[in-house]
Structure 1
Amino acid sequence: MKVLSLILSLAAAPVAAADIVHFTTEDYPPYNFRVGSEIRGAGYDQVLLMMEELKIPYTLEMMPWARAIALAQSEPMHCVFTTAHIPERDKLFRWVEPIAVGRNFMVAHKGSGIKVANIEEAKTYIVGTQRNDYTQTLLENEGFSKIDLATDLKLTLKKLQSKRIDLMPISEQHYMELQEKGEELEAQFVFSEQKFAIACNANFPEDLLARMQGALDKLIADGTQAEIFETYNLRYSNFGMIAAKP
């Protein structure tokens, strides 16, 4: 695993290790993803601009989601993004938000013949998602009994394409990107809506959290966040229009 070190040095005396913020993230386009050796994405860009504004030293590493969120939950100076802020996670972390607001569609492989209009109808099928992702929690809370777990989103998508699973939840933006690339996917219904955020350890310093929130608020207020969304073609469509290409 290649670690992307992005440690910013302060002009003053050396910074203690306890004062360095450690960010973890996953490969989850369009919010954070790799292009060669670089990390990009709508969530990633916002984190960089926030930390540059604050002149706070930090590290950032991309890794499997289960490990990324576990570190933020167990290590005091760790934060993970882009994290869905769902009720089950609310008390586990301290939050800087919103990085984005999004929806998930329940999708099937085009040509599979599967047609489901709601959660109850979808429960009769095998539904795949990545392990420890918030969609796993949503599926379990809704009473899905046939849940197939993979290590990441790409593997789940491969399972759907090879018909090893019947359905999977996927973000609206990523679904639209895959549609434009010619992937044989078909949205069935809106599965969930959620706020995306930076989730920091429950013992993360309050004053530092407040400064990070202030930096994000500034990105939102001055239009920078909207510009980032435009850069990554983030757009929110009516469900009936999602299959249309721009």
Structure 2
Amino acid sequence: MTLLASRAIHRRTVLRIAALGLWACAVSAQAVETIRILTEEYPPFNFTDKGRITGLGTEVVQAVLREINVEGQFQSVPWARAYETTQTNANVLIYSINRSKEREKLFKWVGPITPTDFYLFSLKSRNVHLGSLEDAKALQIGTVNQDIGEQYLVSQGFALGHNLQSSTRYELNYEKLKLGRVDLWVMNELGAYYMVRQAGDDPAEMLNKVLRIADISGSGNYMAFGLKTPDAVVERFRKGLDAIKKNGIYDALQKKWL
């Protein structure tokens, strides 16, 4: 065999191996038929009712799974655990998660699934007034561990254990507010109203929107993957979400819950 022929065979072999590698990666990405899905107790977007995880965000994720023919293994866990697990493992989806500057490079974002608007709430009976967010530093605020509200306030100079009182569950903060253990509650508007109603109270009578937090409002709650998940898997979910927004399923779910 000549040197030229040997080089040609070697070159063809290398090209075949490279092609097989690319094919294997593509097949692997497309062949993911089961995804681990993590969420938290955050009604009305995601919560457990009679042993079943439901809510607006949950139903949107389920619609996407049906659209792309993928099974989802849903689990509700404390938010800090869901947040860390998604970042450290491949093929783990998290929802409903707010997109922020601090989180931007930590996740691969699929797309928004529910609306969101954040406020600092007080009890109407307390008659709290704030001229700016800076004024809130003199008060005690109920937050949830690693939630977007807590992360944002920390980024603005608030401190855990000083003026932020962190909990593991959202409903605990409404209890703290009623008991006078905190002065303010940072929370999504729809979620706050839902929890107040679940507690048997009327939001219009109980809550005062003291200050809207514009920096974390308006963009919506997302579904997202950690950086270890292949781009092809993320893109598959993006296409599924786009599809249900085009075929009317997404709008129907929004009307059902909101």
TM tier, smaller:
0.7 to 0.9
Provide the residue aligned with 1:162 in structure 2.
Answer: 179
In structure 1, what is the Cα distance between the partners aligned to 2:60 and 2:98?
A: 16
What are the equivalent positions in structure 2 for 1:75-86 lying under 5 Å apart? 75-86=89-100
What secondary structure sits across from 2:85 in the alignment? helix
Match of 2:6 in 1: none
The residue that corresponds to 1:14 in the other structure is none
TM-score of the pair, normalised by structure 2: 0.79
Which residue of 92, 95, 98 maps to 2:106? 92
Match of 1:191 in 2: 213
Q: Which residue of 2 aligns with 1:63?
A: 77
Residue deviations 1:11-66 (CA, integer Å, cap 9, x gap) = xxxxxx97531100001011101222122111100111111121123311011111
Letter in 1 for 2:207: L
User: Larger % of helix: which?
Assistant: 2
Counterpart amino acid of residue 118 in structure 1 = S
Q: Is the 8 A contact 2:43 2:194 kept in 1?
A: no
Q: Distance in 2 between matches of 1:117 and 1:27?
A: 32
Give the number of equivalent residue pairs: 217
Counterpart Cα distance in 2 of 1:198 and 1:114: 35
The 8 Å contact of residues 88 and 228 in structure 2, kept in 1 or not, is answered as no
Confirm or deny: 8 A CA contact 1:100 1:197 kept in the other structure. Answer: yes
Please say if 1:223 is aligned against 2:248.
Answer: yes
Partner letter of residue 213 of structure 2?
F
Root-mean-square deviation (CA, aligned residues, Å) is 1.8
TM-score, normalised to structure 1's length? Answer: 0.83
Q: Higher mean Cα deviation, 119-128 or 170-179?
A: 170-179
1:1-246 equivalent positions in 2, closer than 5 A: 20-145=34-159, 146-178=163-195, 181-183=201-203, 184-192=206-214, 193=217, 194-233=219-258
Q: Is the 8 A contact 1:64 1:152 kept in 2?
A: yes
* Residues 43 and 171 (structure 1), Cα distance of their counterparts in 2 relative to 1, 3 Å cut: same
- Would you say the 8 A contact 1:99–1:196 is kept in 2? yes
Q: String of CA shifts for 1:182-216, please: whole Å, max 9, x gaps.
A: 15221112113133111201011111111110110
Q: What letter corresponds to residue 57 of structure 2 in structure 1?
A: G
Give 3-state SS (helix, strand or coil) of 1:123's partner.
Answer: helix
Q: Distance in 2 between matches of 1:174 and 1:66?
A: 18
Larger radius of gyration: 2
Letter of the aligned partner of 2:202 in structure 1? Answer: G
Looking at structure 2, the residues matched to 37 and 179 of structure 1 have their Cα atoms a distance apart, in angstroms, of 21
Distance 1:118 1:223, change over 3 A: farther
In structure 1, distance between residues paired with 2:180 and 2:144: 16
Q: CA offset at residue 88 of structure 1?
A: 0.7
% identity of equivalent residues? 24
CA–CA separation in structure 1 for the residues paired with 2:72 and 2:193: 33
Equivalent residue, structure 2, for 1:3: none
**Alpha-carbon distance in 1 for matches of 2:117, 2:63:** 25
Q: Contact between 1:117 and 1:188, CA under 8 Å: does it hold in 2?
A: no
Give distance in 1, aligned partners of 2:71 and 2:48. Answer: 22
Alignment-mate amino acid for residue 191 of structure 1? I
Contact 1:109/1:163, CA 8 A, preserved across alignment:
no
CA spacing shift, 1:128–1:20, aligned 2, 3 Å = same
Structure 1 gaps of 5+ residues are 1-16, 234-246
Q: CA offset at residue 176 of structure 1?
A: 3.5
> Kindly tell me: are residues 223 and 18 of structure 1, through their superposed partners in 2, closer, same or farther at Cα, counting changes over 3 Å?
closer
Q: Distance in 1 between matches of 2:172 and 2:195?
A: 15
**One-letter amino acid matched to 2:179:** S
